[in-house]
Chains A and B, each alone.
Chain A
Amino acid sequence: MSLKHNDLSLAIPDVHIHDTLIEECRRGSRKAQFRIYELYSRAMFNAAYRIVNNREEAEDMLQEAFTDCFRNIGSYRSESTFGAWLKTIVINKCINRLRKREAELVYVDDYRSVERPAEDVEEVCWPDTSVIAKAAEKLPDGYRVVFSLYLLEGYDHGEISQIMNISESTSKTQYLRAKDKLKKILINMRKDG
């Protein structure tokens, strides 16, 4: 699977500034490996958490992903950023874990069936993104994963359709539905005080 993933959304450097570190990792330098871990672990952990929605599983996935990354770093080519390469490993592991868990991924193929929020939510003053992140954890798995991959990790619907083995239109529908659901959750949270 060849992804043209644009890594701009990730809160980590998007250029090949870690070439020296990566070269040292190839030579087995533990210090360099730890530095890479320090640089990328938080962003990767959050990406993993948003998919599996469970702290222990997210840590397991990160452990496997970093281990694979350092063991196979010789196969990394600078065609993509290191962050994008590492994130692909993390995301694929998390999606596989989700599949093994037989999560009930809710897919809606027909966008016309997507309910629109009753209120004119565009007028709402949205809370801090940390609050939105917490609210997103209440989304059903299928919604949450597509929402996260599209809006936060920067994948397009074509890429998401490959990763999740769904149609592109399903990915789009899932995303719209997830976004509306999340807005409703936030509005209800506000109402509840």
Chain B
Amino acid sequence: MDEFEKHIKNGREGMDIHDPGPGLWSRIEAGLPSHERRLGSYLWKAAVILIVAGAGFTVILRTISGPVRNDDPQITAVRETYLYYNSQISSLYEEAKPLLTDNPDISMELDKSMGELDSLSVEIRKDLSDNIANEEVVEALIRNYRLRIELLEDMLVLMKEKEAGNKNYSDHEL
């Protein structure tokens, strides 16, 4: 290495004389998948699940609040299933509630999806009311409860990651 090369190596930082334009980040950002799109996929999943599960809940509630037939083991099983999953879902929802407050975009989308659910579940309720004694329908409902739980858990993880990311970012010493 001659003196010229040594001189350049020693002053290496001085060789970077240009700065990228101020609008470059916006161009890059425009080409990246948005975080909201990821949330959107969860919300779409939520809508589909809740449409079916919502109808299932309606049927079960009707069954539970309907004429007393405690001797029917199928009705008892459905009631226990409802209570079990409802307790889990309520617990997850309670956990998500404060995070939803900090994520108004997610909360708004959920409200919107729930509104659509209410109108769609009317038709599904009619179909399901004839099949409440059918084991396959009950199994389908259980699968839907599990999916609801999975969905809530996924959303919780997502919101917690987002919250942790914001915290780490603000704490990060670079």
A: which residues have CB within 8 A of B? 9, 11, 20-21, 24, 27-35, 37, 39, 41-43, 45-46, 49, 55, 58-59, 62-63, 66-67, 70-71, 121-122, 126, 128-130, 132-134, 136, 151-152, 179, 183
Residues of A within 8 A of B25 (CB): 34, 37, 41
CB pair B35 A46 closer than 8 Å: no
Give Cα A67–Cα B26 distance, bound, in whole angstroms: 11
Selected contact of A42 from candidates B8, B16, B32, CB within 8 Å:
B16
Shortest CB-to-CB span from B56 to chain A, Å, is 33
CB pair A30 B15 closer than 8 Å: no
Among B39-94, those with CB < 8 Å from A are none
Shortest CB-to-CB span from A192 to chain B, Å, is 19
Residues of A within 8 A of B169 (CB): 24, 29, 31-32, 35
Shortest CB-to-CB span from B23 to chain A, Å, is 9
CB pair B24 A152 closer than 8 Å: no
CB pair A28 B35 closer than 8 Å: yes
CB pair A66 B28 closer than 8 Å: yes
CB pair B165 A31 closer than 8 Å: yes
Give Cα A20–Cα B3 distance, bound, in whole angstroms: 40
Shortest CB-to-CB span from B35 to chain A, Å, is 5
- With contacts A29-B169, A132-B8 known, what are 10 further pairs, Cβ within 8 A? A11-B12, A11-B13, A31-B165, A35-B172, A62-B20, A63-B27, A71-B32, A129-B15, A151-B8, A151-B9
CB pair B15 A39 closer than 8 Å: no
Return the chain A residue nearest B166 by Cβ: A31
Q: With A24-B168, A59-B24 in contact, is A129–B161 under 8 Å at CB?
A: no
Tell me if A's interface is mostly helix, strand, loop or mixed: helix
Return the chain A residue nearest B38 by Cβ: A28
Q: With A31-B166, A122-B2, A122-B4 in contact, is A133–B14 under 8 Å at CB?
A: yes
Give Cα A28–Cα B34 distance, bound, in whole angstroms: 8
Residues of B within 8 A of A34 (CB): 25, 29
Shortest CB-to-CB span from B111 to chain A, Å, is 24
CB pair B14 A122 closer than 8 Å: no
Selected contact of A63 from candidates B2, B31, B38, CB within 8 Å:
B31
CB pair A152 B18 closer than 8 Å: no
CB pair A67 B28 closer than 8 Å: yes
Residues of A within 8 A of B104 (CB): none
